[in-house]
Amino acid sequence: MNKLTKTGLIGSVVTALCCFTPVLVWLFAALGLSAMVGYLDVVLFPMLGVFVLLLLIGIVKSARENKE
């Protein structure tokens, strides 16, 4: 597993946890930043897309390297 695949996998898992569970909502509430909760979707969904794209690029790159 190359570095790009690891980064994409870890980033996708962490971002998915923050998107689909209230982890960041709890954290923001604990820090007194509850007003920022409305903007989380604007940031998290594009981040999830970027990390999934990195994961796919890493998988394709690994597959090409293993063929050669």
**What's the pLDDT at 20?**
82
Q: In this predicted structure, what is the pLDDT of residue 32?
A: 92
How far, in Å, CA of 51 to CA of 45, rounded?
Answer: 10
Q: What was the pLDDT predicted at 36?
A: 87
pLDDT of residue 68: 72
- Calculate mean pLDDT across residues 2-17: 91
Domain ranges of the chain: 3-67
Q: What is the pLDDT of residue 48?
A: 92
Name the H helices within the chain: 3-20, 23-31, 40-67
pLDDT digits (tens, 9 = 90+) for 17-60: 888 888 888 888 999 988 888 888 888 899 999 999 999 999 99
